[in-house]
């Protein structure tokens, strides 16, 4: 199951979805591509990736870290690389 990031007047929190799904489905994260990936600080990005990975572990590990929408044109290659590095780093912990 993949979910769009929160926008358009609604909020989807991966932790709430994991609580409802209870490991019955593989979940895809919904990290905010514009607000966090493109424009957030490194610490905000790290914190949200870590939060989503922790939620995924509560989903019996049936979780794929993912964005909630396509990478925006304003996202630098360096930011995309940082995202991938953080996912690998934080995914190993725990």
Reported as a single tens digit per residue, the pLDDT across 14-40 is: 888 888 888 899 988 889 999 999 999
Determine the 3-state secondary structure of 30 from DSSP.
Answer: coil
Residue with tokens 């922790």: 54
DSSP letters along 58-86, please?
HTTT-EE--BSSPPPTT--HHHHHHHHHH
Q: What is the mean pLDDT of each run of 10 residues along the chain (94 residues)?
A: 64 84 89 94 97 93 90 96 96 78
The confidence score (pLDDT) of residue 71 equals 94
Rounded-to-integer distance, Cα 1 and Cα 20, Å? 12
The confidence score (pLDDT) of residue 10 equals 66
The confidence score (pLDDT) of residue 29 equals 86
Domain borders along the chain are: 14-92
C-alpha distance from residue 27 to each of 42, 51, 76, 77, 82 (Å): 24, 14, 27, 26, 22
């Amino acid at each position: 199951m993949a979910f769009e990031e929160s926008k358009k007047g609604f909020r989807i929190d991966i932790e709430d979805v994991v609580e409802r799904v209870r490991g019955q489905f593989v979940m895809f994260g919904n990290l905010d591509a514009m607000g966090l990936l493109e424009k957030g600080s490194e610490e905000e990005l790290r914190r949200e990736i870590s939060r989503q990975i922790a939620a995924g572990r509560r989903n019996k590990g049936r979780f794929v870290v993912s964005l909630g929408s396509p990478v925006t044109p304003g996202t630098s290659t360096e930011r995309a690389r940082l995202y991938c590095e953080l996912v690998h780093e934080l995914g190993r912990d725990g």
